[in-house]
Structure 1
Amino acid sequence: MTTAVHSHGAVVPQSVHFDDLDAMGVLHNSRYAVLVERAIVVWWAERGVSFTGGRPTTPDAFNVVREYQITFHRPIRGTGEIDVRFWLDRMGTTSADYGFQVTSADAEIVYAEGRRINVRLDPATMRPVPWTENGRAIASTLLRD
């Protein structure tokens, strides 16, 4: 049985809306990636790493998802609040390897878990470039012990 991570990383609440559900009344599989994306974006934006007016506020905001893997354990039935728990398993030179869980708001149920790898890009060349020292410092608070 999978249990919710409490010892490291961040927890960002998210809402499941009616239009996130499929014909069976459960959260559509594609919406999990959206919920994880939104949670990670909110967390970074609260620390000054975001986009304003279509431009990155810092160089570290210009990054893309390279890999995404998810395992579904139980369906989310209906609308309401859930939590997205995420952390960094590894912070590379140009990449960040996130682990995540989608859980009930009370952390009693793990609906899904997986990993996501982001790569920082140079906006001019679209090639990988190193994270800034500031970005690395912020990210260090997410690192798994």
Structure 2
Amino acid sequence: MTAVAVEYGHTTVVPVHFDDLDALGVLHNARYAVFVERAMISWWAERGVSFAGGRPTSPDAFNVVREYAITFHVPVRGTGEIAVHFWVEKLGTTSADYRFRVTSPDGRILYAEGRRVNIHLDPATMRPSPWSEEGRRLGSELLRR
């Protein structure tokens, strides 16, 4: 994955492979969520928030998706590269409200856009719990100002 400079949030260019396509030769709708997930996970992992050996490397890695919504505009046809631009619209006490756009690498074509809300959980109770100070600091780097 390759990063691209943006005014806010983060953009990663990802490859679309033949097995990502559906019977019509366009990017399968379920793959968009996978690409968004991978772009976000990569960003956080580069900052030490990930999983290693089945365990979180940081308390903030223990979170789940509460909401996911996507609107498709133009199909991605065939293999090549797409860009995933994501940012945090609102960082709550226990939640992060992300927005994302899937575009051509140059940003000229908007294929899809959407929203994803993650909730930080306490591993013992599986109930929402506050992000750590470091998690809030990192998350604020993705805020759209």
TM-score by length of 2: 0.95
Compute the displacement of 1:7 (Å): 2.5
SS of residue in 1 equivalent to 2:128: coil
Residues 1:12 and 2:15 aligned together: no
Count of residue correspondences: 141
Compute the displacement of 1:103 (Å): 0.6
Q: Please list, as runs of the form range in 1=range in 2, the aligned pairs for 1:95-110 lying within 5 A after superposition.
A: 95-110=95-110
SS of residue in 2 equivalent to 1:142: coil
The answer for the alignment partner of 1:58 in structure 2 is: 58
1:127 and 1:17 mapped to 2: Cα distance?
38
Compute the displacement of 1:60 (Å): 0.2
Q: Please list, as runs of the form range in 1=range in 2, the aligned pairs for 1:70-81 lying within 5 A after superposition.
A: 70-81=70-81
- CA RMSD after TM alignment: 1.1
Paired letter, 2:124: A
The answer for the alignment partner of 1:127 in structure 2 is: 127
Percent identity of the aligned residues?
69
Structure 2 residue runs without a partner (length 5+): 1-5
SS of residue in 1 equivalent to 2:100: strand
The answer for the alignment partner of 1:30 in structure 2 is: 30
TM-score by length of 1: 0.95
Compute the displacement of 1:124 (Å): 1.2
Structure 1 residue runs without a partner (length 5+): 1-5
2:63 and 2:18 mapped to 1: Cα distance?
30
Moved over 2 A (4+): none
2:144 and 2:64 mapped to 1: Cα distance?
21
Higher RCO (CA 8 Å, separation ≥ 6 residues): 1
